[in-house]
Amino acid sequence: MDSPNNKRNHNDSPTSSNSDLAQLGKRPKLNDCQYGEKCFRKNPQHFQEYSHPHLNDLIERFGDSKLPDNHPSKIRLSDLRAQIEIVKSLKQAKPKPKPKPKKNEPESSGASNSSSSNSVNLEEFVHPTWKLNRGKVKKKLADSKPYRLFFSAIKDSPKTHSEPLSISFQELLDSSLGTIKETLQINFIVELPWLLAQYHITGNRGTPITILHGDDPDIKKGSKLPHVTAVYVKSPIPFGHHHTKMMIIAYTDGSIRVNVLTANLEETDWENRCQGVWIGPKCKKLPPGSDTTAGDSVTKFKKNLLQYLSFYKSSKLEAWIDRVRKANFSKYRVFFTSSVPGSHIGPALETWGHLQIGKILRENPPVPFSEKTHQEWSVIAQCSSIGSLGKECNDWLCTELLSSFSRKVPSLYYPKLHVMYPSFKNVENSHDGLLGGRGLPYTNKVHKNQSWLDKRLYQWKSDSKFRSKAMPHIKTYCCVSPNHKFASWFLMTSANLSKAAFGSVTKKDGALMIRSYEAGVLFLPQYLIDSDVFPLEGSGINEENLILPLPYDLPLKKYSNNDSVWDYGIYSER
């Protein structure tokens, strides 16, 4: 724990000590930016923490001269020029000499909020969306009811910065939501310097953070951060990942809040990628002596969350599990869904993965249509990666997964299945050009073995949300009516369209084999708006029936004959 003097101060001045980040900058592993010449960032802080040898070479070669227009570059030339100017300015910046203390005045022994050689102007790093909503995020969240569903603000799409349902990571830490005591971050990729910067910028520097992560086993190597506890989680199943993306915030008043995300905790995921963020209500602490099963919601959110957290069997989570047990989740109106690695059978068969979702849909059947009309509806699977699904649709996708997504109807009346995944042109025309496909790891090598998908593919299109050029990292699954006016259920999750994420039933013993950790939230209309269906945009429904926000446009736009699915393998070919 930090000493009281090092805890965050919500009244920090814009210029504040950056010692946490300086500690991280000492890590040899972080010296070189992993993207090299393909790095397209323009955040000065990034260049303070990572070296870019190619930029130093260009500065030495061209000096103060402008790069020629025909200079070869792996990113946009305008971005490369901007990076050079940033590196130049950092090289030219000289630390101000520390003033000598006056007679009888003691020297400062610790970091302060005054200017120093180790200080940064935090206002420079305030996200434009948080700048508009600083201190008012509580109202923004109240206005988002009943869905509490947001999409990440896009750096290069200014119209998204002021949208009511746009969100930045900094807003999740806003003081209007409560004074933060401690946070639990469960994620895949964690860029620790960036994450700590967000806490620093929002006035939460020094708050204890527990991180469960699945990418870099040594994210704290070489750093002195007593308030950060990092636990590396590796799936015991080959080709599995710790892919969950969620956070639990504990406040000083004893309450907690659960947020479910689709974004990694890294800068690029919160810039020009479309992400989903569900922000849960604040859960007050139950009265002392309450029953251990008390304080759950009609959707059993608390029970399912505890089940998931307990699966880790980690001593670092004991205090968090205790907080969840003692919290009142009665206001939670969505279902918590999750996957954990293993071969699940018996009572656990329908506890995880797509079988858990199938059970929820079967037990809550507000189906407003007959079996025969059900086949006219469509399940839209929108994702940022696709796994190996088999040589034909009936191997898994159109049978096993679609069965779980179809409630109780016979296979004859399963809804249609559409897959929304960016085309090559979608990526090429994105804000970041071909580098916009960095978060879309599906390759032609896999696709050529399941070309049956071609007739089910639809392009990424989000004109209504000003996000068509922001490549999706969000994952959603939704059942939509033929006229696109209604939805019967909606799922936002970290799970991509794969057996590893949702699980597949083995022929040998009927067990559900799952490789990865995943988490999501499932929306059903009867619990959120007391209706059989969700109205969608353009439905002409009465105002009291609120429209469910989707991240994409309807109707869907099919691939043309000249379109091809985005191929992540392009990076290895260069």
Q: Give the residue numbers marked as catalytic.
A: 243, 473
CA distances from 511 to 304, 383, 505 (A): 20, 25, 5
Judge whether 475 is annotated as a binding position. Answer: yes
**What is the Cα–Cα distance from 162 to 354, expressed in whole angstroms?**
36
Judge whether 245 is annotated as a binding position. Answer: yes
Cα angle at 156 between 154 and 157, to 5 degrees? Answer: 65
**What is the Cα–Cα distance from 531 to 333, expressed in whole angstroms?**
13
Give the 3-state secondary structure of residue 524. Answer: coil
> Phi and psi at residue 196, in whole multiples of 5°?
-65, -35
Helices (H), 381-512: 402-404, 424-428, 444-447, 499-502
C-alpha 561: how far from its chain's center? 33
Q: Which residue carries 């699954």 as its tokens?
A: 477
Q: Closest Cα partner for 367 from 406, 332, 331, 400?
A: 406
Cβ atoms within 10 Å of 102's Cβ, excluding its own: 6
Q: Point out which residues pair with 497 in neighbouring strands.
A: 386
**What is the Cα–Cα distance from 492 to 560, expressed in whole angstroms?**
27
**What is the Cα–Cα distance from 532 to 481, expressed in whole angstroms?**
12
User: Strand (E) positions, 15-164?
Assistant: 15-17, 119-121, 149-152
Q: Which residue ranges make up the annotated binding site for substrate? A: 245, 475
Q: Which residue ranges make up the annotated binding site? A: 245, 475
